[in-house]
Structure formats: structure tokens, C-alpha cells
Amino acid sequence: GAGVSQSPRYKVAKRGQDVALRCDPISGHVSLFWYQQALGQGPEFLTYFQNEAQLDKSGLPSDRFFAERPEGSVSTLKIQRTQQEDSAVYLCASSLASGRSRPYEQYFGPGTRLTVT
Amino acid sequence: GENVEQHPSTLSVQEGDSAVIKCTYSDSASNYFPWYKQELGKRPQLIIDIRSNVGEKKDQRIAVTLNKTAKHFSLHITETQPEDSAVYFCAASQRDDKIIFGKGTRLHILP
């Protein structure tokens, strides 16, 4: 079946522009995660949704970052007034269930490479 | 919060030899330890995982060990092949929650 998809795959923004990154999780997956991966580093957690509820946004680096998942499926990560330090790959992952006694595998999308010039 | 340390950052091994990557974690509440492989420009792919009620798990040429007391876990790849060349990330998590990744190990398989 279809995996996690993300769009656009590449985005170049001028400093100060707003960007919106989209994530389509695997159908039926309850949990959705956003991670930021800087060049040569491991992915770093940004925020997490269970259905439409944003349960953890502790990783968002500033109030310029905003994420939503209004219908519990597709999610959008928005970055306002982009800065050069926002340049990174933004990865989305989804998992089947949450709130169970055992965790579930997170399936990653291909990422969106954001370059701020 | 959780902190995951990973060593070495770069590892070169001769084809056919074994590779070992070691990680430590800080939060004793972590109970799920996945390992991801990431090829250049590609998404992270889960290759094996271990849960805190298990000390060792093996899948063909890949094995993971977990020492909960010492908060150490390791990845072992035997009979390495050229297609094993990639960046490997260890990680720690609690239940179905955010994953905290290590900084990665770049593995080079030498011909």
C-alpha cells in the first residue's frame, strides 16, 4: 500500500517568506510526528499528533513554527518568516496506534528539503 | 528529557567483517529502542528494534543487545556487504511517543 508522502519534496524560500509543508500519513494511522533533520545530524522531534489533537509541541524551535492536523489525517507544518537556520529536511512519520502498552513502528516519509536563502 | 549518545560517528570495516555501533540513553523510563538506516537522500528505514523486556534480538545478519541496568544498547552487523554502507541511527522512545535519535554513525564497507 501507499506509504507516507510529503510535498513539496524541495522548497527554496527567501528569508522572511512563509512556507507550508504537507504530510499525508498512511491511511488509518492515528499518530503523526514531525521531525527536523539538519545536514549530518539525526532527526530531532518537533511535534506529535494523536488524531487531530496536538499532544506534544515541545520540540518546535520558536513561535514561528506551527503545525495542524484538523481532520486527523493530513498534517501541515507552517514556518513563518523563515530564517537561514530553518534550512533542513523536515520529516513526517506516522504510526498505527497510540495509548497502548507497546509502542508501534514509525514509518517515515521522504522528507521536504527546505533551503532558505 | 531523554538524551541518546552514539559511538563511533564514523566506522570503516572490511567487507565480510563485523560492525558494532554502541549507544547509551539517559531516561530509565525509555522502553523501546529502534535502529534506523538512512541512505543518502533517502528516508530513515527501521531495520530492527528491541523492547525493554528483551535483552537480545536477532534478524539474519543484524542483532541488537540491550543492557537496561547500564542503559546501553548496541547494533551488531555480521558478514558486512557493500549495501550495508549508510548512516545508522540508534534511538530511544517511551510507548508510542516521540523518538529521540542519536547523532548517527556513518558506516563504510571497504572492498
Cα A51–A96–B42 angle (5° rounding)? 105
pLDDT of B95 above 80: no
* Distance (Å, whole) CA B15 – CA B85: 10
Give tens-digit pLDDT for B4-59: 999 999 999 999 999 999 999 999 999 999 999 999 999 999 999 998 888 899 99
Cell numbers for A6, please give them: 510529503
Chain B residues touching residue A103 (CB < 8 angstroms): 31-32, 51, 93-97
CB contact under 8 A, B44 and A43: yes
pLDDT band at A1 (very low <50, low <70, confident <90, very high): low
- Using an 8 Å Cβ cutoff, are A97 and A2 in contact? no
* Distance (Å, whole) CA B3 – CA B24: 8
* Distance (Å, whole) CA A24 – CA A27: 8
- Using an 8 Å Cβ cutoff, are A114 and A13 in contact? yes
Chain B residues touching residue A44 (CB < 8 angstroms): 101
- Using an 8 Å Cβ cutoff, are A78 and A18 in contact? yes
Cell numbers for A111, please give them: 522528507
Task: Report the residue of chain B nearest A47, measured CA to CA.
Answer: B98
Q: Residue B11 belongs to what H/E stretch?
A: strand B10-14
CA B48 to chain centre: 8
Kindly list the distances between the CA atom of residue B44 and the CA atoms of A43, A116, B37, B69, B89, in Å, as whole numbers in the listed order: 9, 23, 6, 28, 9
pLDDT of A70 above 70: yes
- Using an 8 Å Cβ cutoff, are B38 and B87 in contact? yes
pLDDT band at A99 (very low <50, low <70, confident <90, very high): low
Q: How many CB atoms lie within 10 A of CB B40?
A: 7
